[in-house]
Amino acid sequence: MPQIAAANTAPKPGSLDPEDWDATRALGHRILDEMIDWLSTSRERPVWRQMPQEARAAMRLPVPREGMPVEAIYDDFCRLILPYSSANEHPRMMGWVNGGGSAAGLLAELLTGIFNVNCGGRDHAAIEVERQVIAWAAEMVGMPAGTSGVLLTGSSMANMVAVLVARRAALGAQVRSAGIGGARLVAYASAAAHGCIPRALDMAGIGSDALRLIPADAAHRMRADVLRAVIEADRVAGFLPFLVVGTAGTVDTGAIDPLADIAAIAADAKIWFHVDGAFGATASCSSRYRGLLAGIERADSLAFDFHKWAQVPYDAGCVLVRDPALHIETFAQSLAYLTQEVRGLAGNAPWPRDFGPDLSREFRALKVWMTLKAYGTEGIGRVVESGCYVARYLAARIEREPLLELLAPVALNIVCFRVRAGADDLDDLNREIVADLQEAGIAAPSTTVINGHLAIRAALFNHRTVAADADALVDGVLEMANRRRT
């Protein structure tokens, strides 16, 4: 039997609270001051600086056994971490699909850290904030009131959740205990769909081979006529078509699949219609671009992120499901230690954990709630319009430059282009130019492959980016191309 320690041998109190809260307060003020300076001067810095080997080495220490003052840890942060950011805050970050964060978002993150609630469930205000955010999300894209949803890390998880709900819709309740057995499920997405779609099928036990990639047209949009034919052929061959994924904003070019046509085909074929609107769904905030998404409101489920075009700090993905009962039936579990009661702190069912795989969850909803309240959908819509404007400006400049060529039409805010001459291997030349630009700190585009050619890909997601940044990118590309020729 373990003995309870006598009073004189009792361990020191375990509280981690500081002896002097005022010192914590002072450090907090200092951090906020210095970090706002850092954020508000991002344009004055190089876009990106590679972390030197000495800094990496300085990070590698054994686990601390005794603590150290938080002031000293903050000094480490300023020395070893801050200078080597991923560049998301910078107006000339143009790579991949990265949002820039915002003032309201950073304050929300501070509050989230202080509040430290677990948003798996129970009866507290944060759950209501999340419910409000889900209702706003449905309203933004035109899905009906009562649509269910949950915030997740990102669209990879949101697409995964949608695949699981669609799987449940196709195979019934027993799929949760028995798995898919020999069901010959097949799903459909455009050849330009994001890699998280096949991965979701893989993780759902269906297998990525079950994804039929439907060819895209010259504008990189799914060919709905081919979709219809492939579904019919699969049925004849004895497969069970269960899911069609339309993409609202493909990762490579920003193309928007013909969502209304796909919705009609899915309805005729009685197949789940899911939309991956990772960033494109945010265009619903703009009256100018909303029309491009026509059909999104007919989705059975929608995956998208607030951390991309809506500028909420990482991470803030979202899945919406038109049928809340089916959504709950896909995830809810009955567990003695998590019993949902009709009164007390264990009340207020259903809980977010009934709509997704996570139990312990951070208060993601606060930063979304604060961002939407601070800027409104109109403010986010202006971010969308500005990104699309800079993309058109960039495309026009590229078309005026004899050494450059566009590789894809500009649908929204993504521009794919390349240097068209100057080396035998143009793919290699353009790849090197992108790395040159990043290492010089001029701009940080990324690369992709369009119709077999390596493209310089500029994705205008940062709300701080203006047309002069597009010029800086083009000037930088031309300068690096010339340097490599001489």
Ligand X SMILES: Cc1ncc(COP(=O)(O)O)c(C=O)c1O
| Binding residues vs ligand X (CB under 6 A) | 97, 154-156, 194, 196, 247, 249-251, 276, 278-279, 305, 317
**Which candidate, 408, 391, 480, places its Cα nearest to that of 438?**
480
- Shortest reach from residue 407's CB to ligand X, in Å: 18
Using CA atoms in the order 100, 106, 108, 111, what is the torsion angle rounded to 10 degrees?
150
- Shortest reach from residue 414's CB to ligand X, in Å: 10
**Which candidate, 356, 353, 380, places its Cα nearest to that of 105?**
380
For residue 15, how far is the Cα from the chain centroid? 37
> Nearer Cβ to ligand X, position 42 or 156?
156
- Shortest reach from residue 202's CB to ligand X, in Å: 15
Which residue in the shown chain puts its C-beta closest to ligand X?
A: 154
- Shortest reach from residue 309's CB to ligand X, in Å: 10
- Shortest reach from residue 321's CB to ligand X, in Å: 17
- Shortest reach from residue 66's CB to ligand X, in Å: 38
> Nearer Cβ to ligand X, position 384 or 419?
384
Neighbours of 478 (CB within 10 A): 15
- Give the whole-angstrom CA distance, residue 134 versus residue 119: 14
How far is residue 287 from each of residues 277, 293, 462, measured CA to CA in Å? Answer: 17, 11, 20
The DSSP result for 91-146, as a single string, is: TTEESTT-----HHHHHHHHHHHHH---TTSSSSHHHHHHHHHHHHHHHHHTPPTT
- Give the whole-angstrom CA distance, residue 382 versus residue 377: 9
> Nearer Cβ to ligand X, position 196 or 380?
196
Which phi and psi angles does 463 have, rounded to 5°?
A: -70, -10
- Shortest reach from residue 397's CB to ligand X, in Å: 25
Pairing relation of β-strands 301-305 and 404-406? unpaired
> Nearer Cβ to ligand X, position 317 or 476?
317
For residue 281, how far is the Cα from the chain centroid? 11
> Nearer Cβ to ligand X, position 212 or 308?
308
> Nearer Cβ to ligand X, position 203 or 440?
203
> Nearer Cβ to ligand X, position 48 or 279?
279
